């Protein structure tokens, strides 16, 4: 049937056309996407906070190491800042508990009886000290559960001490059955018998031995006894060494010039004999062991439940 005259025509309602290329997403999917973005922001924020905490922790440890290093240098009259390392993470937890698990100290110190500087080391375990005392410099009486002290006399200082610039320290002559072929070696660790090798002036040489210059002399190897006696290291040459091992150790001649007269032998052995005082182990720790290791003379001591002065590496 048609519309009556005068009645307007009505059109059916239609959805507005979507824009070209636009995708209408359901409301639930949009909310899920927003939730994922928020979660990622939280994770990134937590990671940033964790990274900042690590940086601050390492910064606090570095500052504490610097403070101890400066106090040790000033109090011990060292020529350079010693190396100080606070081990263990997090450092802040140790500082809050006023107990530091493991502290390493390495420094070069002067000795009145040895020209030059020697390497001294200390390992402190269970250091009881508040961070405030450390910052304020109140470290004169610090309880420590265990202290291991060490003094290393390196080849250069050994040469100055003996007045034999090219002096070298080797392990004892080993058995051929031990895998070394009877050659000993500078990498061995030993106490007792050692081999000392160096160039000594000839009996008729009037010129003194000057460190750092070539000497016209004789290269000799001697057997020596290394002992710790009454807090002193005694190196006593006992005999001329002419073994096969001497030929395999650096510049030592396989058959040194003969020195059969007892006067020559006594003179040579006296040149390779010395006594070293060990009272200057770090923090006054008494020595309990001496050994030859890696071409060095190493003196070690250990103390338990001791009180140390952290701004004085060498006690009076």
Residue 186 CA to residue 55 CA, distance in Å, equals 42
Residue 99 CA to residue 241 CA, distance in Å, equals 52
Residue 304 CA to residue 316 CA, distance in Å, equals 20
Residue 154 CA to residue 166 CA, distance in Å, equals 12
| 63 contacts 96 by C-beta, under 8 angstroms | no
pTM confidence score: 0.71
Sign of the torsion angle spanned by Cα atoms 82, 87, 89, 91 = negative
Task: Judge whether residue 250 has pLDDT over 50.
Answer: no
CB atoms within 10 A of CB 121: 19
Confidence of residue 35 (pLDDT cuts 50, 70, 90): low
Confidence of residue 224 (pLDDT cuts 50, 70, 90): very high
Predicted local confidence at residue 269, as pLDDT: 93
β-sheet bridge partners, residue 245: none
Determine how β-strand 192-201 pairs with β-strand 168-170: antiparallel
Task: Judge whether residue 39 has pLDDT over 80.
Answer: no
DSSP H or E run through 139: none
Task: Judge whether residue 59 has pLDDT over 50.
Answer: yes
Q: pLDDT tens digits, residue range 203-223?
A: 654 555 554 444 467 889 999
- How many distinct helices (H) and strands (E) make up the chain? 6, 12
In percent, the amount of the chain with pLDDT more than 70 equals 70
């Amino acid at each position: 049937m048609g519309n009556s005259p005068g009645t307007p025509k009505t059109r059916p309602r239609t959805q507005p056309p979507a824009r070209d290329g636009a995708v209408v997403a359901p409301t639930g999917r949009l909310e899920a996407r927003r939730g994922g973005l928020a979660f990622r922001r939280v994770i990134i924020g937590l990671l940033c906070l964790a990274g900042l905490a690590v940086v601050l922790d390492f910064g606090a440890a570095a500052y504490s190491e610097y403070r101890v290093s400066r106090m040790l240098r000033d109090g011990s009259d060292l020529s350079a800042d010693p190396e100080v390392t606070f081990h263990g993470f997090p450092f802040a937890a140790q500082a809050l508990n006023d107990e530091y698990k493991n502290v390493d100290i390495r420094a070069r110190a002067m000795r009145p009886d040895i020209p030059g500087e020697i390497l001294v080391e200390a390992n402190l375990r269970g250091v009881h000290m508040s961070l405030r005392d450390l910052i304020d410099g109140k470290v004169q009486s610090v309880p420590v559960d265990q202290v291991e002290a060490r003094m290393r006399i390196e080849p250069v200082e050994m040469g100055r001490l003996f007045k034999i610039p090219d002096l070298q320290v080797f392990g004892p002559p080993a058995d051929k059955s031990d895998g070394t072929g009877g050659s000993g070696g500078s990498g061995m660790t030993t106490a007792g018998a050692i081999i000392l090798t160096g160039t000594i002036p000839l009996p008729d040489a009037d010129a003194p031995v000057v460190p750092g210059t070539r000497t016209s002399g004789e290269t000799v190897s001697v057997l020596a006894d290394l002992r710790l006696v009454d807090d002193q290291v005694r190196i006593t040459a006992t005999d001329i060494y002419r073994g096969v091992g001497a030929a395999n150790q650096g510049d030592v001649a396989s058959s040194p010039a003969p020195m059969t007269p007892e006067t020559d032998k006594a003179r040579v052995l006296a040149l390779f004999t010395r006594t070293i005082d060990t009272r200057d182990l770090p923090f006054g720790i008494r020595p309990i062991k001496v050994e030859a290791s890696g071409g060095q003379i190493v003196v070690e001591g250990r103390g338990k439940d001791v009180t140390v002065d952290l701004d004085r590496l060498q006690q009076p």
